[in-house]
């Protein structure tokens, strides 16, 4: 079980658009909600109403400030992060009990919680911080790609996608088969130059991130502006005298 399949039939995963994400954290909340009420142990909170509160989340949104070289304005980029369902998932092979596995049919990386001893080694092996040991249950929790939604025939068809994708008000999250080059998500990745996180770690993530689009340059306001008389930069008269006098003090 803890060896990785040589090939999976599908590569289900997410495509996250960093250009569109507004950082509202709605995906974080819908993920916590769905995964607390459904598959596996609930996502617990510790000291939720105290000063030192913490809890288990499968999806978290960071925000980064990126300063381009030169005078260009800094960009603020919101950055949702969850399990990337890697093809060479290091979290799976380190597992001593076989609780962690990658599914052959769709490539989803899952934890069989009844076999998990909570040793934490899979979280150590994950470079992305996608796995969190639930402090109440003592087992490892991670994104299931809402395996209990995407195949769930009791749900209306439009709801058969991961909770984070379904809830995103900005349309920044996309779900599909990244192994099929004709799928919508694969086309989106090809069109927008989708990228891997930490490619040097050799994990071959299935989830892709769409980089922010280049920002527009501020256009010249008026073509005649350069020919207009410049505004006086040196103050004259009383203000000029005041300026000089204050300089001398």
Partner 1 sequence: MHPAPSVIFFTTFSGLGFGLLFFLGLGFPGVTGWTAFAFFAIAYLMAVGGLMASTFHLGRPERAIKAFTQWRSSWLSREAWCAVGALVLMGLYGLGLVFFDARWTVLGLLGALFSMATVFTTSMIYTQLKTIPRWNMKLTPVKFLSLSLAGGALLAGQVSIALVLLVIAGLVQLYTWVEGDKALNASGTNMATATGLGNIGHVRAFEPPHTGTNYLLKEFVHVIGRKHSQKLRVIALGLMTIAPIILLALPFSHVLGVLAILSHIAGVLTARWLFFAEAEHVVGLYYGKR
What does the binding site for partner 1 look like in residue numbers (CB under 8 A)?
A: 1-3, 18, 25, 28, 52-57, 60-69, 72, 74-77, 79, 81, 90, 93-99, 115-121, 123-129, 132-135, 137-140, 195-202, 209, 211-212
Q: Which helix (H) or strand (E) holds 200?
A: none
- Identify the burial level of 77 via C-beta atoms within 10 angstroms of its C-beta, where 0-12 means exposed, 13-18 middle and 19 or more buried: middle
The least CB distance from residue 167 to partner 1, in Å, is: 17
* Nearest to partner 1 of 200, 234 (CB atom): 200
Angle at the Cα of 130 from the Cα atoms of 126 and 132, rounded to 5 degrees: 100
The least CB distance from residue 227 to partner 1, in Å, is: 34
The least CB distance from residue 173 to partner 1, in Å, is: 16
Please say whether the beta carbons of 169 and 132 come within 8 A.
no
Give the residue among 147, 118, 151 at the shortest CA–CA distance from 134. Answer: 118
The least CB distance from residue 37 to partner 1, in Å, is: 21
Give the residue among 205, 2, 203, 201 at the shortest CA–CA distance from 92. Answer: 2
Please say whether the beta carbons of 141 and 129 come within 8 A.
no
* Nearest to partner 1 of 92, 150 (CB atom): 92
The least CB distance from residue 160 to partner 1, in Å, is: 27
């Amino acid at each position: 079980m803890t060896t990785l399949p040589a090939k999976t039939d599908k590569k289900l995963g997410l495509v996250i658009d960093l250009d569109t994400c507004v950082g509202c954290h709605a995906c974080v909340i819908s993920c916590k909600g769905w995964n607390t009420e459904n598959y596996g142990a609930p996502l617990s909170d510790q000291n939720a109403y105290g000063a030192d509160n913490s809890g288990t989340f499968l999806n978290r949104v960071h925000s980064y400030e990126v300063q381009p070289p030169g005078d260009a304005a800094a960009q603020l980029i919101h950055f949702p992060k969850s399990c990337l369902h890697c093809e060479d998932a290091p979290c799976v092979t380190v597992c001593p009990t076989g609780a962690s596995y990658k599914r052959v049919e769709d490539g989803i990386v899952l934890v069989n919680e009844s076999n998990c001893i909570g040793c934490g080694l899979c979280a150590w092996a994950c470079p992305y911080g996608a796995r969190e040991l639930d402090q109440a249950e003592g087992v490892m929790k991670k994104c299931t790609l809402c395996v209990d939604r995407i195949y769930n025939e009791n749900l209306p068809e439009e709801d058969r996608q991961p909770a984070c994708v379904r809830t995103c008000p900005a349309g920044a999250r996309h779900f599909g088969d990244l192994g099929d080059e004709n799928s919508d998500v694969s086309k989106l990745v090809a069109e927008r130059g989708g990228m891997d996180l930490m490619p040097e770690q050799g994990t071959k993530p299935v989830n892709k991130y769409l980089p922010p689009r280049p920002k527009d340059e501020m256009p010249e306001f008026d073509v005649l502006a350069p020919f207009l008389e410049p505004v006086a930069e040196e103050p004259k008269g009383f203000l000029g005298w005041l300026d000089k006098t204050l300089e001398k003090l």
